[in-house]
């Protein structure tokens, strides 16, 4: 018997979830409990010693969250995953497992603004030092590597402008230097890009966005690709030195190709504490069941909106790699044949004032600081999220005074376009 791996849409509905063993409930129950009873004292000891699989306390693991973890691991083609309270918490736990004080990591300059803040400022308290590289010049990643570098961090589709990153080229540099490549796959989701297939070692998600997809729950997920050889590298003591908290276990020896995910759970999540509420896990899981359908519609709508804007008299430029003339179109054809995502930016000829006017004129688009909702969303970064930066800094961050970011929803495309058209008329 030759068996066949289930397809993406089947995994989106089923992976990690089976009828509840005690009640037969078919939907995944919300296990809204802090703790789980032990079968006996020996069982408790086995669980605390990581010798048995099982549930102890929801800060370390929860059966609802576990379904979400396995679902995302399956969709990404990873070995294991960990769900946490937010995308930022997921990023934090990844670096906590990889970096010692004084270490460096290389990150693309084109990232979600919150990640730029986190790396530039908060991480300084831990003496974790970011070195920035330019994804439009892949060799800049190699030049940024020093003997202290422990990881490389990129976004598959970069927020805010929707640019597509050459993951395979950056992975080649990471492999040459023996570094794990971390890819934030939030804006692509595994439906559009599966970064492990292009050489990523660790994937991070803000599940808040397209995975959950309905703008109702904050969450984050870390996925272990199982590809990085921690023991051979010897540079990641968190995984390869005996852990006193667990009687001297070496996580990379005991847990093999899912050791990274286990490390972020049993050391990171357990000790730092950003646990995901099981209710949020349930909401995100329900969202993921329709991920393929939603992404298809998001991308189709985004392309129509980008085409409309690209010929509009008041629009100076549109940055959407799905458009044939876009500078990222070749990368889009390689990495996102099913669609180039639904988050992108465009520039208004009328500059800052036109941006402010546009977000106040729209009626269907919601003016807010999120992406990846069923609803269409709009923001003028220069007057909101990037307000505190100088004009020069704004331009580097892709948030110049004329820039507007859209997250195109799954409404009727004609209505989305009509709303923009009317608002542009008033600008």
Ligand X SMILES: Cc1ncc(COP(=O)(O)O)c(C=O)c1O
One residue of 8, 29, 51, 197 binding another protein per CB under 8 A: 51
Q: Looking only at residues 122 through 181 of this chain, which bind ligand X when binding is defined by CB under 6 A?
A: 155, 159
| Residue 194 interface partner, choices another protein, ligand X, none, CB cut-off 5-8 Å depending on type | none
Is 83 an interacting residue with respect to another protein (CB under 8 A)? yes
Q: How many residues bind another protein (CB under 8 A)?
A: 60
Is 156 in contact with 335 (CB distance < 8 Å)? Answer: yes
Closest by Cα among 225, 206, 209, 224 to 276: 206
CA distances from 220 to 65, 255, 342, 413, 422 (A): 11, 22, 20, 29, 36
Q: Which stretch binds ligand X (CB under 6 A): 56-64, 82-90, 99-107, 230-238?
A: 82-90
Residue 144 or residue 218: which is nearer to ligand X going by CB?
A: 218
Q: Is 18 among the residues that bind another protein (CB under 8 A)?
A: yes
Over the window 238 to 257, marking each residue x when it contacts ligand X by CB under 6 A and - when it does not, the resulting string is: --------------------
Q: Is 115 in the site for ligand X (CB under 6 A)?
A: yes
Contact 200/222 with Cβ under 8 angstroms?
Answer: no
Question: Segment near another protein (CB under 8 A), from 81-89, 166-174, 203-211, 283-291?
Answer: 81-89
- 211-225 burial, b at 16+ Cβ within 10 Å, e below that, comes to bbbbbebbbbbbbbb
- Residue 61 as a binder of another protein (CB under 8 A): the answer is yes
**φ and ψ at residue 387, rounded to 5 degrees:** -55, -40
Residue 88 is a binding residue for ligand X (CB under 6 A): yes
Residue nearest to ligand X (CB): 87
Binding status of residue 82 toward ligand X by CB under 6 A: no
For residue 57, what are the contacts with CB-CB under 8 A and spacing of at least 6?
A: 34, 35, 36
Task: Report 186-245 residues binding another protein (CB under 8 A).
Answer: 242
Shortest separation between residue 321's beta carbon and another protein, angstroms: 30
Half-sphere exposure in the Cβ direction for 146 (13 Å, CA):
12
Window contacting another protein (CB under 8 A); options: 180-188, 207-215, 260-268, 325-333: 260-268
Which of ligand X, another protein, none interacts with 8 (beta carbon under 5 to 8 A by kind)?
none
The burial of 284, by beta-carbon neighbours within 10 Å (0-12 exposed, 13-18 middle, 19 or more buried), is given as: buried
Distance CA 344, CA 157 (A): 10
Number of other residues whose CB lies within 10 A of the CB of residue 1: 3
């Amino acid at each position: 018997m030759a068996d066949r791996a289930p397809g993406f849409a089947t995994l989106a509905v089923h992976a990690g979830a089976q009828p509840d063993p005690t009640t037969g409930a078919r939907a995944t129950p919300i296990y809204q409990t802090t703790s789980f009873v032990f079968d006996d004292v020996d069982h408790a000891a086995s669980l605390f010693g990581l010798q048995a699989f099982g549930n102890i306390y929801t800060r370390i693991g929860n059966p609802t969250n576990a379904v979400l973890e396995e679902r995302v691991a399956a969709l990404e083609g990873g070995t294991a995953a960990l769900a946490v309270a937010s995308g930022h918490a997921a990023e934090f736990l990844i670096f906590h497992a990889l970096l010692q004080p004084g270490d460096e990591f290389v990150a693309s300059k084109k990232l979600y603004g919150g990640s730029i803040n986190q790396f530039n400022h908060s991480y300084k308290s831990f003496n974790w030092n970011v070195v920035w590289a330019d994804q439009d010049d892949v060799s800049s990643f190699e030049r940024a590597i020093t003997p202290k570098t422990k990881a490389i961090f990129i976004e598959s589709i970069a927020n805010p402008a929707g640019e597509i990153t050459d993951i395979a080229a950056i992975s080649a540099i990471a492999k040459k230097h023996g570094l794990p490549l971390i890819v934030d796959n939030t804006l692509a989701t595994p439906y559009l890009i599966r970064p492990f297939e292009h050489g990523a070692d660790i994937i991070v998600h803000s599940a808040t966005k397209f995975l959950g997809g309905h703008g109702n729950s904050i969450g984050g997920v870390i996925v272990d690709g199982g590809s990085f050889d921690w023991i051979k590298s010897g540079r990641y003591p968190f995984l390869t030195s005996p852990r006193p908290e667990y009687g001297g276990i070496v996580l990379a020896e005991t847990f093999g190709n899912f050791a990274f995910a286990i490390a972020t759970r049993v050391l990171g999540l357990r000790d730092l504490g950003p646990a995901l509420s099981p209710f949020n896990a349930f909401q995100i899981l329900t969202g993921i069941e329709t991920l393929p359908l939603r992404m298809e519609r998001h991308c189709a709508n985004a392309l129509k909106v980008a085409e409309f804007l690209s010929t509009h008299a008041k629009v100076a430029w549109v940055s959407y790699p799905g458009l044939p003339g876009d500078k990222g179109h070749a990368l889009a054809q390689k990495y996102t044949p099913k669609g180039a995502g639904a988050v992108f930016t465009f520039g208004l000829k009328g500059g800052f004032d036109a941006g402010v006017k546009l977000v106040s004129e729209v009626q269907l688009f919601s003016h807010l600081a999120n992406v990846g909702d069923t609803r269409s969303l709009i923001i003028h970064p220069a007057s909101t999220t990037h307000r505190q930066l100088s004009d020069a800094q704004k331009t580097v961050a892709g948030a110049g005074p004329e820039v507007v970011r859209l997250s195109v929803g799954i409404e009727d495309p004609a209505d989305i376009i009509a709303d923009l058209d009317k608002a542009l008329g008033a600008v």
